[in-house]
């Protein structure tokens, strides 16, 4: 059914917020998007959009734009960190929705292009959300208050809305004992569109090309005891990154020698929210279920959330629709997050386990080359857009 006449406020102009705003507007809702950044910022670097996320972009009418903005990935290659030698190659299927390597800023721009009819307002800060009642309110810094039939919090890790759904009860994330660096370097090697994962004891490095091969994205993860603040924008020195991965071989030393700017962030594990909705308010994306980056599913889960939420709102009154949305999404995202947590352990094996595990992967690669990818078919084959 149409959502004509439904007034919606979406807090947050990231992937979840933009996708939700675009889809709800397509369904007829009147949407106000609040973004606190003073503009849609170029935050982060590379993203991997897998078929489950690409199907949502296609259903939004953005499949052609995705093909223009990203590179279709051909393979994921697992390598031994010290030597750079191939351990396993996972060839990705050439047909269907596909796997895509996209700069986050390009994905944001792509989603922004779908906001036809959405009112966007850049605000200093959202101070408070009151979810109760049929017309929940959003209070801005300075005291201005906005009301709508539905308020959605797509405002990430430090969501203003999420605590209001839990009556302000604190939910403490814990440090995983891992930190990650991210960097972009120019690429002149015309590398194929493949994601390469270099595995080492207590650390790993992921790299793939972006923007037609003109850039190379690097994410490097290391286990450590020190507590590092969350967030994407903690500058670090390239020397620290190079020192952490000094034992890696293959192309890694040359890549790291080119790094001029690098950011460091601590990886924290947050619980999946107990309550995703209250009254006429709900959360989605990282506000509901932050995930570690080891399955490359954060953006894809956000896209799925946005479509599922709009679909539920088309099928039932708001109260029932929000309950159906949580029921439809919570178990799936929890399973995806658990898979990401396992991947972190698998990438960081130490001797004597690492050589044995790598030998097993090489054997599997020869005997059943598609088996490793098939074990995640429940993620990639999922189509939230199917009625």
In this structure, are residues 112 and 62 in contact, taking their beta carbons and an 8 Å threshold?
Answer: no
Q: How many CB atoms lie within 10 A of CB 89?
A: 15
| Residues taking part in catalysis | 208
Q: Is the bond leading into 352 cis (omega within 30 degrees of zero)? A: yes
**CA pair distance 302, 313, nearest whole angstrom:** 17
DSSP letter string, 192-228: -SEEEEEEETTEEEEEEEEGGGTEEEEEEEEE-SS--
Instruction: Strand 46-49: give its sheet, edge to edge.
Output: 46-49, 100-103, 71-72
Instruction: Output the six-digit token pair for 197.
Output: 């994962």
Q: Report whether 154 contacts 71 (CB < 8 A).
A: no
| Separation between Cα atoms, residue 342 and residue 5, nearest integer Å | 45
Angstrom distance (rounded) from CA 347 to CA 142: 48
CB 301 within 8 A of CB 333: yes
* DSSP-derived pairing of the beta strands 86-91 and 46-49: unpaired
Q: Could you tell me which of 57, 47, 66 has the C-alpha nearest to residue 18?
A: 57
Listed in sequence order, the residues at least 6 apart from 81 whose beta carbon sits closer than 8 Å to its beta carbon are: 198, 199, 200, 203, 204, 205, 245, 247, 248, 249, 252
């Amino acid at each position: 059914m149409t959502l004509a006449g439904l007034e919606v406020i979406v807090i947050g102009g990231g992937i979840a917020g933009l996708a939700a705003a675009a889809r709800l507007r397509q369904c007829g809702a009147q949407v106000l998007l609040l973004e606190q950044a003073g503009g849609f910022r170029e935050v982060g670097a590379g993203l991997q959009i897998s078929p489950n996320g690409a199907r949502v972009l296609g259903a939004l009418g953005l499949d052609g734009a995705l093909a223009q903005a990203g590179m279709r990935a051909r393979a994921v290659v697992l390598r031994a960190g010290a030597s750079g030698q191939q351990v396993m190659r996972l060839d990705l299927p050439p047909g269907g929705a596909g796997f895509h390597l996209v700069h986050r800023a390009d994905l944001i721009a792509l989603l922004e292009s779908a906001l036809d009819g959405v009112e966007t307002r850049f605000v200093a800060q959202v101070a408070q959300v009151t979810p109760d009642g049929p017309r929940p309110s959003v209070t801005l810094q300075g005291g201005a208050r906005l009301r709508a039939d539905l308020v959605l919090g797509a405002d990430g890790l430090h969501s203003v809305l999420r605590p209001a759904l839990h009556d302000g009860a604190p939910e403490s994330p814990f440090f995983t004992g891992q930190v990650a660096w991210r960097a972009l370097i120019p690429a002149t090697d015309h590398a194929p569109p493949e994601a390469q994962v270099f595995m080492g004891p207590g650390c790993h490095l992921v790299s793939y090309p972006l923007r037609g091969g003109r850039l190379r994205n690097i994410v490097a993860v290391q286990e450590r005891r020190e507590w590092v603040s969350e967030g994407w924008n903690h500058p670090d020195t390239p020397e620290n990154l190079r020192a952490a991965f000094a034992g890696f071989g293959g192309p890694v030393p040359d890549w790291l020698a080119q790094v001029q700017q690098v950011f460091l962030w601590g990886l924290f594990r947050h619980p999946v929210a107990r309550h995703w909705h209250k009254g006429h308010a709900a959360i989605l994306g990282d506000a509901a279920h932050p995930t570690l980056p080891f399955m490359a599913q954060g953006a894809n889960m956000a896209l799925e959330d946005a479509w599922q939420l709009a679909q539920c709102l088309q099928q039932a009154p708001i109260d029932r629709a929000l309950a159906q949305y949580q029921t439809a999404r919570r178990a799936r995202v929890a399973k995806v997050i658990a898979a990401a947590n396992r991947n972190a352990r698998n990438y960081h094996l130490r001797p004597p386990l690492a050589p044995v595990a790598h030998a097993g992967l090489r054997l599997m690669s020869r005997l059943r080359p598609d088996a490793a990818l098939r074990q995640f078919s429940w993620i990639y084959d999922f189509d939230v857009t199917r009625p």
